[in-house]
């Protein structure tokens, strides 16, 4: 997504991770993220951005989640049980400079990610609206 | 519930940061579920 958003002149990318600074820094470095990475261990941004909270079905019975776990196992990594609230679902929100929501994808299950092309299209449309 | 503009968050270095700090016309915020 970092690369995809570089095509846009007026959009910046922020990743919000539900962790504390030390662990989030390790994750940022491991993934090679160059965007701002924000720590949100208590999920405060999650609520303010209007994202959803799942139940057992959306979180633990999501086929895409188990697919991700299978990929981890194939790479020799063992999934582990989370030590924090695991029920908030992720998402992507495009905000304008006043903090108004231009576009939002609130994940419906743990493995429900917005397609990158859709995010870029939403940001591009937001850019065009602002330049009119 | 705090508003998006009032959120008090920190970056990976523990420095205070706001979601819209870049001043860009648009900010794409990705909220991950990378759990501890």
**Could you tell me which of A68, A15, A24, A72 has the C-alpha nearest to residue A46?**
A15
The whole-number average pLDDT for the span A14-34 is 92
Please name the residues in contact with B35: beta carbons below 8 A apart, sequence gap of 6 or more. Answer: A18, A82, A83, A84, A86
Q: Look at residue A5 in the predicted model and tell me its pLDDT.
A: 72
The whole-number average pLDDT for the span A103-127 is 89
Query: Where residue A88 falls among pLDDT bands split at 50, 70, 90?
Result: very high
Can you tell me the distance from the alpha carbon of A57 to that of A87, in angstroms, rounded to the nearest whole number? 10
Tell me the pTM.
Answer: 0.85
The whole-angstrom distance between A64's CA and the closest CA on chain B is 13
Q: Which helix (H) or strand (E) holds A15?
A: strand A11-17
What does the pLDDT look like over B18-35, one tens digit per residue?
A: 999 888 899 999 999 876
Nearest to A95 among B27, B31, B34 (CB): B27
Beta bridge partners of B27: A12, A95
What does the pLDDT look like over A37-65, one tens digit per residue?
A: 999 988 899 989 999 999 999 988 988 88
The whole-number average pLDDT for the span A77-86 is 82
- Mean pLDDT for all residues in chain A: 88
Q: Look at residue A65 in the predicted model and tell me its pLDDT.
A: 80
With beta carbons less than 8 A apart as the criterion, state whether A103 and A80 touch.
Answer: no
Instruction: Tell me whether A89 touches chain B (CB under 8 Å).
Output: yes
Q: Is the pLDDT of residue B5 over 90?
A: no
Q: What are phi and psi of A130, to 5 degrees?
A: -75, -25
Q: Look at residue A14 in the predicted model and tell me its pLDDT.
A: 94
Burial A23-51 (b: 16+ CB within 10 A, else e): bbbebbeeeebebbbbbbbebbbbebbeb
Instruction: Tell me whether A14 touches chain B (CB under 8 Å).
Output: yes
């Amino acid at each position: 997504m970092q690369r995809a958003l570089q095509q846009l002149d007026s959009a910046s990318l922020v990743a919000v991770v539900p962790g504390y600074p030390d662990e989030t820094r390790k994750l940022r470095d491991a993934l090679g993220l160059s965007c701002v990475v924000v720590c949100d261990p208590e999920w405060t941004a999650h609520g303010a951005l209007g994202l959803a909270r799942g139940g057992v079905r959306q979180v633990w019975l999501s086929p895409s989640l188990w697919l991700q776990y299978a990929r981890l196992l194939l790479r020799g990594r063992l999934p582990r049980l989370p030590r924090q609230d695991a029920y908030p679902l992720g998402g992507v929100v495009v905000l304008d400079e006043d903090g108004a929501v231009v576009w939002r994808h609130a994940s419906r299950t743990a493995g429900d990610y917005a397609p990158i092309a859709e995010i870029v299209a939403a940001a591009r449309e937001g850019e065009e609206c602002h330049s009119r | 519930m705090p508003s998006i503009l009032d959120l008090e968050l920190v970056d990976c270095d523990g420095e205070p940061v706001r979601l819209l700090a870049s001043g860009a016309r648009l900010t794409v915020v990705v909220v991950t579920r990378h759990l501890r």
